[in-house]
Amino acid sequence: MGKRYRKMERKVNGRIREISNGRIVLELPLPVAEVLSGIPEAVERMSREAGLMVVSALLEDECERIAGPKNSRNPLRTANWWGGDLRPVYFDKQKVVIERPRLRGKDNREIPLSTYEAFRDPKGMRRHVMKNLVLGISSRNYEEAVESVVKGYGIKKSSVSRHFVEATAEQMREFMERDLSGLDLCAIFMDGIEFKGHLLVVALGLDIRGKKHVLGLWQGATENAEVCKSLLEDMVRRGLDASKDYLFVLDGSKALRSAVARMFGSDAPVQRCQVHKRRNVKEHLPKEHQRAIDARISAAYKMTDYDKAKASLELTVKYLERLNPSAAASLREGLEETLTVHKLGITGLLRKTLSTTNPIESCFSVTRTITGRVKRWRGGDMVQRWAVAALLRAERKFRRVQGYREIPKLVAVLQQKNLDRKEAAA
């Protein structure tokens, strides 16, 4: 019985005419009828065949540099050509089989080819698999989705899943050790997302140029103070400057607020999300009053003057005490911190950006879209890997926030606040 690899068909239908002076001359069969009829697959097929031929040419070129031209006599050569075999390489998002030339040295041992080892590296395949699965191609449909006329293997469901696990695990390790010391941050958004029965607390940073960065995530059973504190401690460990003043934008969670106070002091500037506050108040009201009360609260938040905005909200609290005491208590709780951007004098589009956790909510929206296609979850590790992959996918599409030109004003206010605190302590 012959060896299995001898039964595999060769993948290249053209041929290499010449390799010299650092140039590769290829000869490809041109399907004239298909080209003239306007079939684009003909051109795609030619390009893929050419790519595989270049891989073969590079292998032969390395062999010639080591052992000299094939079938030439050279008594000084240190290696000899030793036939070839069919071996897999990673090409065009899949494994394909090409003929690999072999060399043996004077000691009768095979000489490894660095070019072949480079094409054997599965990292490129893993990157393609991770990108395609994150974009929505399921592992069951991956084989059909790979567009190539070469007959590949290693693209079955189990193989694709294995590549994705390896790629996302490596990506998660790199993300969890990402250095934050080079980021000049002025604001940090924090929020939690319930993720397939697990809760993830995510931090998003805003730098002085108006760019957003995913800083980290921490997994817990509930959004408690210890989980939030662990996330902040991990960020400090990776280079976040704990001596600086940041504006923390939170969703109203007491656990997040407590963790920020423990790590950065009780006087750290905190902006409570105005959207969450309005939503919480509406949930206490009957439907016939929701629109009118929400309009009053929204109008107050749109005021530029801090004192006027606070006075308007306090009037709404008094009105709600007669209408619905629970809604009044909800609005009164943390009212001062919903106006932090007003108190700091932040105006215009930047105030709109910093008054809510919408920048981080957009990340969660991408995460929900990407992970919504997963049907079977296998533990917290899988949740964390998918969450990191989705968050980093969202990060690549980040744009500068609205009002980024006004960020120097925020930085100046935070620096002055830091100086005032140091003078008071002295």
What is the average per-residue pLDDT within 36-53?
56
Note the pLDDT of residue 270.
94
pLDDT averaged over the chain?
A: 77
* Nearest-angstrom CA–CA distance, 426 and 419: 11
Instruction: Output DSSP code: residue 304.
Output: S
Whether the per-residue pLDDT at 422 is higher than 80: the answer is: no
**Tens digits of residue pLDDT in 206-250:** 999 999 999 988 887 666 788 888 999 999 999 999 888 899 999
Q: Which residue has the higher pLDDT, 48 or 415?
A: 415
Whether the per-residue pLDDT at 154 is higher than 50: the answer is: no
- Report which of 147, 263, 214, 133 is spatially closest to residue 392, judged by C-alpha positions: 214
Lowest mean pLDDT among 148-162, 192-206, 227-241, 369-383: 148-162
- Beta strands 15-20 and 23-27 are antiparallel
* Nearest-angstrom CA–CA distance, 308 and 21: 78
> And the tokens for 145?
């989705």
Whether the per-residue pLDDT at 74 is higher than 90: the answer is: no
Note the pLDDT of residue 389.
79
What is the average per-residue pLDDT within 120-127?
55
Task: Collect contacts of 235-244 with beta carbons under 8 A, ≥24 apart.
Answer: 235/180, 235/203, 236/263, 238/177, 238/178, 238/179, 238/180, 238/181, 239/179, 239/180, 239/181, 239/182, 239/183, 240/180, 240/181, 240/183, 240/185, 240/215, 241/181, 244/185, 244/414, 244/418
Lowest mean pLDDT among 137-146, 180-189, 245-254, 344-353: 137-146
Q: What pTM was computed for the model?
A: 0.63
What is the average per-residue pLDDT within 46-50?
58
303 Cβ contact list (under 8 Å, min separation 6): 309, 312, 342
Instruction: Report residue 128's pLDDT band, with 50, 70 and 90 as the boundaries.
Output: very low
Q: Where are the beta strands (DSSP E) in 208-334?
A: 212-220, 247-250, 270-272
Note the pLDDT of residue 138.
43
